[in-house]
Structure 1
Amino acid sequence: MSRTRLLSDSSWSRLEPLMPTASAKGGRPFQDHRRVVEAIIWRFRTGSPWRDLPAEFGPWQTAWKRHRRYSGDGTWDKIHAELLSEADSVGKIDWSVSVDSTVNRAHQHSTNLTRDTGGPSNYRNLRREPADHGIGRSRGGLSSKLHQLVDGHGLPLVVLVGPGQAGDAPMFPVLMAHLHVARRGPGRPRSRPDRVRADKAYSSRAIRHHLRSRGIVAVIPEPADQRGHRSRRGSHGGRPVSYDVIDYRHRNVVERGFSDTKQWRGLATRYDKLALTYRGGAVLRAITLWLKQLGDTPRPSHAESA
């Protein structure tokens, strides 16, 4: 595969029909989709500045503007959702999901925007730039967090970006709220996994109640301090927390999934000023991982799925 061919022909044949045909209603049709998409992939894979894109990819401004547009108008999310729907229809999604986050250092080139731009920092609207741009300050310096909900194979189902110092548990309901995999045929989108595996950072009454109320098995250990508080309260502390210790061993798929995500250096270190475009790169990485998972699987028609 040449320097400018980062997607296989089979992957591109699956991706091409999902790309938008025009910039706006009545606008000029997009040109050179494959070259631009591979330019964006090259930039995130190498962590290079946009201006240093090789000439074979065409003007760097085109690649940047196209990625900014696709990140903001939901194009990457729609493609990701379509691939998830296809994967579910052929049984490629393992619905024993895991959740976690990874902290990525923010490069100095990504931190020179003022914190009074963008919208509210609630991270529920994936197409609105948060005021803090998803960058936080902690003991390790300025950083961002990638939060992911992955299937049993470690492939991303939901991708969010938040500041590096923020806790994991508050983002859990946001991740679950964005889990919707459309069915090929009749039926509502699937939003309820069979089980959720998570580490002790996600051990809280609110999360356990949320999962229990939806009939989802919680595979989450209880930290020692919570066990102590419950024990001191006696009968008012509630029943001891139980979980499948053997099944919990499979939680490391999310860690391995982050290793795959960070093969793209532009995600392992944040160079993007906007949380919107940084998350867009992470969603694009998820798209490439699902394309690899689908491989040469024949695409089922809607009639076959029904």
Structure 2
Amino acid sequence: MSSRLSVLTDAQWERIEPLMPSSEGRRGRPFNDHRLTVEGIIYRFRVGIPWRDLPRDFGPWQSIWKRHRRFSSDGTWDAILSRLLAEADAAGLVDWEVSVDSTINRAHQHATNLPRATGALPSYKKLFEEPDDHAIGMSRGGLTTKIHHLCDGKMRPLVILIGPGQGGDAPMFAPVLEALRVDRIGPGRARTRPDRALADKAYSSRAIRELLRRRGIQAVIPERSDQVANRKRRGSKGGRPVGLDKEAYKRRNVVERSFNVFKQWRGLATRYDKLALTYRGGAVLRAITIWLKELRDTP
């Protein structure tokens, strides 16, 4: 295969190859070459082309699509990312000053021609079940999808969830924080609590601050101007001003820079996938490639 079509180095592939599913004991045809298929999936999201337009170097496009659909819904991509995060944390690479935000992405017309229910709140705990609205909603930009993202202090992804474009950021804060889990290599509980959480004014609510306080996580979230005015209007009943570490808040831009890295893959910057599962699977695969680069100097 041409080097122009491949992304993964031999060392990177050796790290994740043992984590790929085996065909042993499975009904049906055995899996084709995993590496060739994974490179095909990466190429499709990186370039942003229809599946059927994949170069023949990768093999039948139908097989590549089916494999990505399977790995997105059975938790394979998430399991690989989880292992890489555990290895990174064991090597001291994870910066536990986290930032939370969302980015809105336009859904191409090819992604919006499935019937969908609207108006109901989807369950974000069911990561591997297709939501009724396919995580597509109507916002100012038309039919859109949001990627809700939590990254570490060096803009590497830790949590990736998706929802409809019109969905608010604040209601998704708790599910995003709840999804944060970095396992230990060896004995010990998984780490689920960062040192501090940075977020913009969209996440300024009493419920979010109380959640962080209860879990012993420092909140670095500025107050909205209407909240400040309301507190002052109530006088002593309005409570104390919210403390804000301004120096720490200057570092919140890491999440915006992290989105810029994600959107270098054109298939993520614009959503072409009909299914929320496969679109999120592409975002998780992007996170895998990011952490593989970070781990290149570790055994």
**TM-score (norm. length: structure 2):** 0.96
Residue identity opposite 1:247 in structure 2? A
Superposed CA offset, 1:51-110 (max 9, x none): 000000000001100000000000000000000000000001000000000000000000
One-letter code aligned to 1:137: M
Where do 5+ consecutive residues of structure 2 fail to align? none
Give the 3 Å change call, closer, same or farther, for CA 215–120 of structure 1 in structure 2.
closer
The code of the aligned residue for 2:259 comes to F
1:136 alignment counterpart: 137
On the 8 A contact 2:146/2:162 being kept in 1, the answer is yes
Given the superposition, is the C-alpha separation of residues 131 and 17 from structure 1 closer, same or farther in structure 2, using an over 3 Å criterion?
same
How far is 1:24 from its partner? 6.2
Change in Cα spacing, 1:45 to 1:28, as seen in structure 2 (3 Å) is same
Q: Would you identify which runs of 4 or more consecutive aligned residues in structure 1 move more than 3 Å?
A: 23-29
Give the whole-Å Cα distance in 2 for the aligned partners of 1:120 and 1:240: 33
Q: Is the 8 A contact 2:151 2:158 kept in 1?
A: yes
Instruction: Give the alignment of 1:70-89 within 5 angstroms.
Output: 70-89=71-90
Against the structure 1 CA distance between its residues 138 and 116, is the aligned structure 2 distance closer, same or farther, given a 3 Å change threshold? closer
CA distance in 2, matches of 1:198, 1:224: 16
Report the CA distance shift for 1:24/1:212 in structure 2 as closer, same or farther (over 3 A): farther
Q: Which residue of 2 aligns with 1:36?
A: 37
Superposition RMSD in Å? 1.5
Counterparts of 1:177 and 1:30 in 2: how far apart (Å)?
34
Residue 22 of structure 1 and its aligned partner are, at CA, apart by 2.0
Q: 2:206: which partner in 1?
A: 205
Matched, 1:123 2:87: no
Count of residues paired in the alignment? 297
Pair 1:71–1:24, CA change in 2 (3 A): farther
Helix, strand or coil at the partner of 1:87: helix
Could you report, residue by residue, the CA deviation over 1:270-295 in whole angstroms, capped at 9, with x for unpaired residues? 00000110000000000000001111
**Corresponding residue for 1:232?**
233
Secondary structure of the residue aligned to 1:271 is: coil
- Provide the C-alpha distance between the structure 2 equivalents of 1:25 and 1:174, rounded to a whole number of angstroms: 34
Question: Quick one: distance in 2 between partners of 1:49 and 1:120?
Answer: 30
The answer to whether the 8 Å contact 2:52/2:61 transfers is yes
Is the contact between residue 6 and residue 43 of structure 2 (CA under 8 Å) also seen in structure 1? Answer: no
Amino acid at match of 1:293: E
Identity %: 66
Q: Deviations over 1:161-189 (max 9, x none)?
A: 10111110000100111111111122110
* TM-score (normalised: structure 1): 0.94
Give CA deviations for 1:144-172 in whole Å, capped at 9, x if unaligned: 00010101111110000101111100001
Matched residue of 2:250: which SS? helix
Determine the structure 2 residue equivalent to 1:148. 149
For the residues of structure 2 that align with 1:258 and 1:49, how far apart are their CA atoms? Answer: 23
What amino acid maps onto 2:211 in structure 1?
Answer: H
- More displaced, 191-200 or 229-238? 229-238
1:149 alignment partner, SS class = strand
Distance apart, 1:229 and its partner CA? 1.0
The one-letter code sitting in structure 1 at the alignment partner of 2:175 is V
Give the Å deviation of 1:27. Answer: 5.4
Q: Could you say what secondary structure the match of 1:196 adopts?
A: strand
Cα shift readout 1:230-251 (whole Å, capped 9, x = no counterpart): 1111122111001110011111
Q: Tell me the equivalent position of 2:105.
A: 104
